Amino acid sequence: MSVQLDRIEKLKSLVSTHQNFPKPGVTFRNIFPILQDPSAFTDLINLIVEEIKSKPQLPDIIVGLDARGFLIAPIVALRLGIAFVPVRKAGKLPGNVEQVSYKLEYGEDTLEIETGSIKPDQNVVIVDDLIALGGTASAACRLVRKMSATILECISVIELVALNGRRKIDAPVFSVLQY
């Protein structure tokens, strides 16, 4: 097996699966066991950094999504030596914010970003833990575009392929693990 596939298989074996959580009918994929294994967590960050570095254009900013995206995105930003900007659920950011509402696999929510935290000519990569219906990533794309910035790529640790969330996301999508 190649080193790349080896790392992916190891990561996949660590993700835990929970039926009917947090609502009946939802199969919840939990990334936290990866974070409990420093070697696997390092592999995960390396795979994301390698994906970003493989592209002709490097980002100026990594945008991470509240809350589980915050566990991954700032580490990726530090490794690349670039800024991290948070997108938060409504009511958590001070000052002026841009706002977008969206639908979840199990609910509805609003995302916000600090006005001016991304400049119009900047290149952005968005990082989150999971793409299900794609509403969260799609809303984050709309927020970044409201600031007239360019989205190079939307990166997720997990993609629930059957839900076809990437069709909603108006940017190239890369996922490390597919279910």
Ligand X SMILES: Nc1ncnc2[nH]cnc12
Closer Cβ to ligand X, 59 or 64, answer by number: 64
15 binds ligand X (CB under 6 A): no
Angstrom distance (rounded) from CA 165 to CA 29:
15
26 binds ligand X (CB under 6 A): yes
Long-range contacts from 74-79, C-beta under 8 angstroms, 24+ separation: 75/45, 76/45, 76/48, 76/49, 76/52, 76/125, 76/127, 79/45, 79/49
133 binds ligand PRP (CB under 6 A): yes
86 binds ligand PRP (CB under 6 A): no
- Could you tell me if residue 154 is left (phi over 0), alpha (psi between -120 and 50 degrees) or otherwise beta? beta
Query: 85 and 111 in contact (C-beta within 8 Å)?
Result: no
Near ligand PRP by CB under 6 A, which window of 38-46, 73-81, 114-122, 127-135?
A: 127-135
Closer Cβ to ligand X, 60 or 129, answer by number: 129
Q: How many chain residues bind ligand PRP (CB under 6 A)?
A: 18
72 binds ligand X (CB under 6 A): no
Near ligand PRP by CB under 6 A, which window of 1-9, 51-59, 60-68, 73-81?
A: 60-68
Angstrom distance (rounded) from CA 31 to CA 41:
10
84 binds ligand X (CB under 6 A): no
